[in-house]
Structure 1
Amino acid sequence: MPLPDIGAWRDLDFFASDWPGIEAALAQDDRDILPPATQRFAALQLTPPENTRVVILGQDPYPTPGHAHGLAFSVEPDVVPLPRSLKNIYMELQNDLGITRPNGDLRDWAKQGVLLLNTSLSVPAGDANGHKKLGWQRLVHQVLKRTSARPTAYILWGKSAQTLESNILPGDHLILTSAHPSPLSASRGFFGSKPFSAVNTWLNSRGEQEIDWARNSEAA
């Protein structure tokens, strides 16, 4: 199927050099691939490069059908219970800013300039990291270089995301690193890291509008 409208991201070399091969590989994979093809590039659709102020890197989409919809850590609003990593993110948000959100849909963050990008944009259902070697990482490398052409806040949770820091061009950035919010590591430095208030303090110091981490309004 043709690429959706991803705005200026379409200029990245990835879409000419790498995407055709990945698209062909996906077409030949007879498993249930998540998220649905129409949502695969949702992060780029909702947060164009000119609007990106914060980048949060995930890993691969949730492998449970009905959960992933193209944004790192986000799930469809009717998903209950929340995935454990997202539950821990919400616990830290509550501890940091006293915010409780109504569901796991983070599209409102994306529309405020928070790029919620997974390092792999597809996964076979039930097979976590099943597309880790498909070639998506080259897209992430180019997105990081593109966004870091101007001051940007980066939230890198866990070693997998932190290894990508070398793709961030030098600049007046905010780079926050901590343990991953997964249950296996959240207690090793994720809890208490206060990334949400740190981002808003940084944005405020630059005279930019803060992220309203509480706003959901059904993520519209």
Structure 2
Amino acid sequence: MLNHPAPELSVIQCAEHMQVANEIAEKSITLVRDHANLLPIRLKPEQRIAVIVPTPEDLTPADTSSYVTPQLAESLRTYHAHVDEFVISSTPNEKEIASVLKQVNGYDLIVIGTINAFHQNGQAMIVREIQKMNIPMLVVALRLPYDLAAFPEVQTYLCTYGILEPSMRALGRAVFGHGAMTGHLPVSIPGLYEAGS
């Protein structure tokens, strides 16, 4: 067995590594569907976007997602000034759901980030209730792509597969038409889309 010296800690987030992370993030953004023709986002400067995002939690013993604050709203503010963020728990209850629905009523576009909504009924309920409000909405699965199965009637659905900054920046660029969405589903969404779609 060869003994190689451990790399110095200065390599963490060095320019070369960040370039690779950005390239991977940009190539992974997956547009699953846009039946509502919302993309690229075309809003007047005075129109407002509401961003709803759950607080990440660790889904496995090795997971560290709970230490990350998704920069979804910030990624959109790079391209549109009027973006408000509404952070919900990963398992919102009826009171929290009612509160956020009241707060986002009247916005011109709602962007909902979901994390494991396939198993979190509260997140799925928020999506379904906002659909009833007839406000343009796009849903972004920030982790696993299966969330669409919890609300298969959603018209505009994307996947980032991650909540770290490179993925959020790539998403912001893509939804405003400054980057291509060339990703493909790595797995099937049962009953809806086959892997590779």
TM-score range, shorter chain: 0.3 to 0.5
Which structure is richer in relative contact order (CA contacts within 8 A, separation 6 or more)?
Answer: 2
Q: Which has the larger radius of gyration?
A: 2
Q: TM-score scaled to structure 2, two decimals?
A: 0.33
| Larger helix fraction of residues | 1
Q: TM-score scaled to structure 1, two decimals?
A: 0.31
| Larger strand fraction of residues | 2
